[in-house]
Each structure stands twice: as C-alpha cells, then as structure tokens.
Amino acid sequence: MQGPRFNRIILKLSGEALAGPQGFGINFETISQIAHEIKEVVDLGVEVAVVVGGGNIWRGRAGKGMDRTTADHMGMLATVINALALQDALENRNVATRVQTAIEMRQIAEPYIRRRAVRHLEKKRVVIFAAGTGNPFFSTDTTAALRAAEIDAEVILLAKKVDGVYDSDPMENPEAQKFNRLNYIDVLRMGLKVMDSTATSLCMDNRIPIIVFGLDKPDNIKKVILGEKIGTYIEEG
C-alpha cells in the first residue's frame, strides 16, 4: 500500500460537519465516525492537528442587534464545546489527544502554546485547536491557516458537506461545475466560497496547499492522505 503523502496536517472541520444530518448540535454517530477516520490517519504515522468551527451551536454573525465582539466570543466558546466532544470521541478510540484554546480556560484545556503543540504532534498526539485565534472578527478558517503556518503543517484538509469546490452552489444548481484544481488567485478573483479571503491570502502568502473534500463518504480523510484524487486541490498557480 502507498504510504501517506503528508507528515503533518491541519484538518479543518466545520461545526456543521459535526452536526450530521440533523443540521444543528452534535451528532454523536457523526463525530464517532470522524474520530474513527482520524485514528486511521494517526495509525499511518501522520501528525494530525484539528481546527473545529462552532456553527452547529452558534452563528455569531446572525445575532441581530448583538455586539459583534460579544457574538464572536460566543462562537469561540462553541468551538470549545465541539473540541471537547471530539477529544472524548478520539480518546474512546485510544487516541492520545490534547485540546489547546486561544482563550485560557486551564481547568478544561491547555492554553495555545506553539512549541507545546508541536511537541504533542511529535509524540503522535492529536492536537485540537479551539476558540479560534482568540480574537473577534477572525474566522476559524483563518485560524486553520494561521495554525498551519505556525506549526509548519504541509497541507490544510478542508472537510465540508460537499465533495469539492464548485462554480456555484451544487445544492441549489444541479448544473454546477466542480473544479479539480485551482490556484489561490482564482479563488479570490472568482469569489469562491472555499475559505474567507483572509484565510486564503494567508495560505497563499505561506504557500500552504488546501484540499477541499467531502465527509459524505467513509474514509475520505485517509484517501486524501494516501494521495487519491478526490475533492479540489488549491495551490500556487
């Protein structure tokens, strides 16, 4: 069998990915399946860091009339809930895991310290980054790009509900065309909803490739790691 294509990765999971078919909250069957797939990748010897979103619990930007900074802080706390749920699912599969938060809450998680995170990864522990960057006005997509640059990750795996990047929403347009490869400038110029522009620019500046793929089929995370051609590959043009 072909060996893994990458040694150290960032896996970005949206909050919606953890909600499963119900669309909100945490679906424990879904999160258990994701934990199983992460374990498969860890068993290949790959160093795995995860960034989780919080949209299944709180959509801060939809908080009408609410102060944006307050709403964003609530979203950060939602990501911590998801991180703890994923940690529990992984540890139930005997995967050593650490949660690091950008906002200190020492009773339940470690504060984010880059050197400590790298050391955990070297020891083959899965590190889950929660609470975003710790700053309002920045998305968890930007967190994934920032952490990937900080820990020298070779790629960001962007796990979504759809199986790649399309020229329009495939849920609304059955004629939507899927892209197999793109460069960062294409994503920015065409306004494709892959990551927000700040995150995309950060990946471009640091030459961090992005692979966008769906969680709709079992073992897709492992397939990407082993180099199978699924999803959309975004890199320097």
Name the E strands within 190-231: 210-214
CATH superfamily membership of 8-235:
Acetylglutamate kinase-like (3.40.1160.10)
Predicted confidence at residue 66, as pLDDT, reads 86
155-204: per-residue pLDDT in tens? 999 998 888 899 888 888 888 889 999 999 999 999 888 888 999 999 99
Please state, in angstroms and rounded to a whole number, the distance separating the CA atoms of residues 99 and 161. 24
The two tokens of residue 225 are 């790691």
Domain boundaries, the chain: 8-235
For the chain, report the end-to-end CA distance as a whole number of angstroms.
Answer: 31
